[in-house]
Each structure stands twice: as structure tokens, then as C-alpha cells.
Amino acid sequence: MATNTDIDSARLLREQYKDGSKLSARIRLHQRFSTNRYGLMRWMFDHFRIPENASVLELGCGTGILWRGSVRVPPGWRMILTDMSGGMIRETRANLARLGHRFTFAQADAQALPFRDASFDAVIANHMLYHVPDIPRALGEVRRVLKPSGFCYAATMGVANMREIDELAARFFSVPRMTESTARFGLESGEAYMRRAFSEVKLERYPDSLVVTEAAPLMDYICSMRVRSRVSDEQVADLRRHLENEIAVRGEIRISKDTGMFVARR
Ligand SMILES: C[S@@+](CC[C@H](N)C(=O)[O-])C[C@H]1O[C@@H](n2cnc3c(N)ncnc32)[C@H](O)[C@@H]1O
């Protein structure tokens, strides 16, 4: 039976992703201030082992960021992009309309995929498995819909990701960290789930960091997170003053990143 905490967390998740506005604030910070200019999405495409003619399923596609950058999508790929949020699907459809690739869209929960067994060459689940209440069930679904030769790609963050932001969370918001994502399905905690679901699992890491030179986009990032609903306006104002002061004195704020992707063979 669902507890009050489960119901609360499902409500916050729906609110967080009812549309792409909060996610876009976080993506903007990474796009503007990441030191590795190669690009995470381009790097992911380098690691895909997907045939030239293939059916590709994406779970939790968000605003469709994976497909929007300078990536080469073979003309023989048919992509089905899914997300549990109807608002996200509407935005992604609009965001990708002009690309001309063979996209179709569907609202779907990763824990109960409306697709036949062994129907995809690849399933991509980027930065979303940590939101899924029953992770083994979702990975069981991924395995079921993959062809025997298929691969699952799941990007996520490690515990050291943006640890400076967690230090600010502890100091200004009195919470141990801004988000529980890496504890649920991170580069460390996710590996055991992946090994239980798939025959071969490899972890690839993408080296990167942030050098942020403006306080406002960093505050937008922090305020886009679920923690915002648990802290007062005064706490937020204190943190804002601190960040503005840091930038005025040092000219920048350096933030570590720890990101990567599991590449798993069915
Ligand atoms: C952090 S965003 C990541 C979006 C995108 N993959 C990216 O890398 O930018 C997480 C996405 O997962 C979706 N999501 C959360 N739980 C889900 C579930 N159980 N099934 C499908 N999608 C889910 C959310 O609606 C949101 O769009």
C-alpha cells in the first residue's frame, strides 16, 4: 500500500515535470558553463552501438535534449520517444518538429511499457531511472522490449556530482543534499541494478565541470529542484546573497561534475 510519503513524492514529481520549464533551467546552466565543450549528448552518440537500421526507444525523454544538439542520427533509425508526463511529450514534439527524423511520441510509464517483447535494438534511459519508484521493474521492462542483441544506455550522475551545491544545501537549507537522485540510481548505486537486469554492463565516465560566472542561472538551477518547496524565501534570499558575493569577489564559482553512462547488453 502507498504511504503518505510515496503519495507526496509522486505529487512533487508530477509537479516538477508537468512541463519542461524546471528541467530547462538546469539544462541551461550546463549548456552555458560546462568546461568540456565536446558535449555530453555528442559523447553519448559516440558510445551507442546501434545498427544503421534500428528501432530506438527513449524513456523519460524530457524536453528531447538528446536529439537537439550536433548529433548524427542515421536515416534508418525509427525513434519512439516516451515520457510519463504528457506536458513533456507535447514540448518535445514541438522542439523536435523541424529536425525531420523519424520520431513518434507516446506517454508511458517506464514500469509498464506499452510495447511488444523484443521490439527494440536500443533503449535509452537518461537521467530518469532515479525517479522511477520500482527500478527493477522498469529495468525488467527494458529487458523485455529489447531484442536479444539489443543494448540499454542509461546516463546518470555519481555521488561527487555538484558536491559544492550539496554543501550549500547543508549550509543554507539545512538538508544533507539538494537531491536524492544519486542515492537512488547513480553511477555507484545503479550498477547493481544494471548487473541484475543485463548480461554485460560497462560504465563510461564523461569528464566535465562547471565554472559559473553569474549567480542568477545558478539560483534558477537550485530553485528548479524539489528542495525549493521545503525551504523559506529567507533561506533562498540568504543563498542568493552568498552566491552574488562569491562571484563579485572571485569572479566565478567552480563546481565539480561526475557524470557517465551505463552501456548494457541484454
Ligand atoms: C531529469 S528528467 C531527464 C529528461 C531527459 N532524459 C534528459 O536527459 O534531459 C527526467 C524525466 O523522466 C520522466 N519520468 C520520471 N518518472 C518516469 C517514469 N516512471 N516513466 C517515464 N518517465 C518518467 C520525467 O517526466 C522527466 O521528463
Q: Is the CB of 17 under 6 A from ligand 1?
A: yes
Pick from 31, 36, 33: nearest CA to 211: 33
- Over the stretch 149-171, which tens digit does the pLDDT of each residue have? 999 999 999 999 999 999 998 89
Atom of ligand 1 nearest to the CA of 110: 20
**DSSP summary character for residue 37:** T
| Ligand 1 proximity of 85 Cβ (cutoff 6 Å) | yes
pLDDT of residue 43: 97
Give 4-160+178-209+257-265's CATH code, choosing from 3.30.470.20, 3.40.50.2300, 3.40.50.150, 2.60.40.1170.
3.40.50.150
**At 65, phi and psi to the nearest 5?**
-60, -35
Question: Looking at ligand 1, which residue's alpha carbon is closest to its atom 26?
Answer: 62
- Alpha helices (H) along the chain: 4-16, 21-33, 40-47, 65-68, 86-96, 135-145, 163-168, 181-185, 190-197, 215-223, 233-250
Question: SS3 of 249, please?
Answer: helix
Mean pLDDT (the chain) is: 95
Residues of the chain below pLDDT 70: 1-2
Single-letter amino acid code for the residue at 83: D
CA distance 210 to 250: 15
Q: Is the CB of 132 under 6 A from ligand 1?
A: yes
pLDDT at 6: 78
pLDDT given for residue 176 in this prediction: 83
**Distance set, CA 76 to CA 53, 102, 153 (Å):** 4, 9, 19
Find out whether the beta carbon of 40 lies less than 6 Å from any atom of ligand 1: no
Q: How many whole angstroms from 20 Cα to the centroid of ligand 1?
A: 10
So what's the pLDDT on residue 9?
84
Domain boundaries, given as residue ranges, for the chain: 4-160+178-209+257-265
Q: Is 43 in the pocket of ligand 1 (CB under 6 A)?
A: no
